[in-house]
Structure 1
Amino acid sequence: METVETQGVAIPRLGLGTFRMPGDAARSVVESGLALGFRHIDTAAMYDNEAAVGTALATSGLKRADLFITTKVWHDKLAPDALRRSFDASLGKLRLDHVDLFLVHWPSANMKMGATLEAITKLKEEGLARAIGVCNFNMPMIRRAVEDIGAPIAVHQVEYHPFLSQTPMLDYLRGKGIPMTAYAPLAQGRAAKDPVLARIGEKHSATAAQIAIAWLLDQEGVIAIPKAAHPSSQIANLDALNIRLDDQDRATIAALPKDLRYVDPPFAPNWEA
């Protein structure tokens, strides 16, 4: 598995997402993913499955050093004391003595960004999180975090798929040496049904979903964390690592609509800022 180096950690470029897999539903999914070769597992306090993920990790028989585990703090826990309590709870549920990556899941309108990032940086300094980062920051927010506050941001995780452009953000992050992790990389299932991606897939003996993943991994500094509940889907996602797109494929995907955002909760920041 190819990795991306950032802030002293090596992140496998293809991970296993666990959103909307509450409780024990996540255990069998993670067990099967680990058995098939996934080593990068993405969870969050809000997913309500950290304990199930922790059980799967504990029974996997894999060395801790071979795993890359990400979790996140929810936007109502960004005050320093609340963030620390959330982190401690996550660590306990995961049955780990550290996580590889700890992220601010969403910004909040009333957060004190400096205090939040100082608190999360302290976890890195204490060795409890090997790396830290953020999710769902708009451009002014990520600039402030990186340039004004100087936080050691290892990753920015955002919605990214063939129907949503992240070009300005990706250009900025590349200039700072920060990788982007693409969540909802299949546009919440829509990519699998897209006829344009399906036609490209026919050329490569692949599915539309595999083409969507291959397109993300074709880009410098991009990590993808598709959710896959069934072993067959997990195998298919791993097989997407072997697909090599050509310039015609890239041009065809570039012509798809690029303004379709599917994750936009009421507390989301102003994406156009």
Structure 2
Amino acid sequence: MSSSDTNTTSANLDAINALKYSKILFLQVWCLATFSLGIVGHILSIYVFTRRSLYSNSCSQYFLASAIAGLFVVCILVPLRLLQYVYNIDAFVSSDAMCRILTWLLNWMKALPSWFIVLACVDRVGPPVSMLTFGLLAIRNIRRSVRRIIPNNTPTQTQNQLPHRQKATDRQLMQMMMVQSAHFITSQLQFQQLRPLTPGIQLKAVHFFKSQQSSCSSQHPPFGPQLESTASHPAFLPRRRGGGEVHPDTLSCGFGLCDAFIK
């Protein structure tokens, strides 16, 4: 092997190690920031939606349920992903039963906040659509029924203030629902577009490093078996603890980072 090939191989190994370190550092910062900010944000949301002025509203109850489900996701899913992708401790590979249970449980937990937001949208959008469907007569009857609920022995000023206050609360909840729905749609579209591309990119990376096996095996003996293991177990399969200077799960040059958050 010539000196130029040796320098190229060393440069490739240095680039792989640099990408591995960058990926691990980014995942550590990202997971810790998501964990801390997620706990604070969801606890504040739970505190707000349990207030007496909002708890009686059906839309705020859906937001409260979404915040509780999101708190469970942050406290359980983020630490598991941190252990899996940073410290190579995978709870999914202990047994087939544990893998099935955790996969079902985590997918169910991740879907709950989104479904509660959908129910909040239905709760806010459904009644106006129904009222438009049944016509102006139903709208007039609903307004009359709301006026009858207000006690007659209260002052007129209080009777005028209560509907305005209720309308302001409904308007704020509607704005919150629209912001959360827009954020959810925009954050999910990019991952849905990247999902079909991720396996192909990872396979190309595996084939590239497999082609480097012949040039690396003479000077780096531990690297060859790891390349074979990587070729037979691509990065998007369940990960196990490995040894060596360069872990095979990091040979995808950071493409596993995309797969980590798409899952």
Structure with larger Rg: 2
When the two structures are superposed, what TM-score results if normalisation uses the length of structure 2?
Answer: 0.26
By percentage of residues, which structure has more strand?
1
By percentage of residues, which structure has more helix?
2
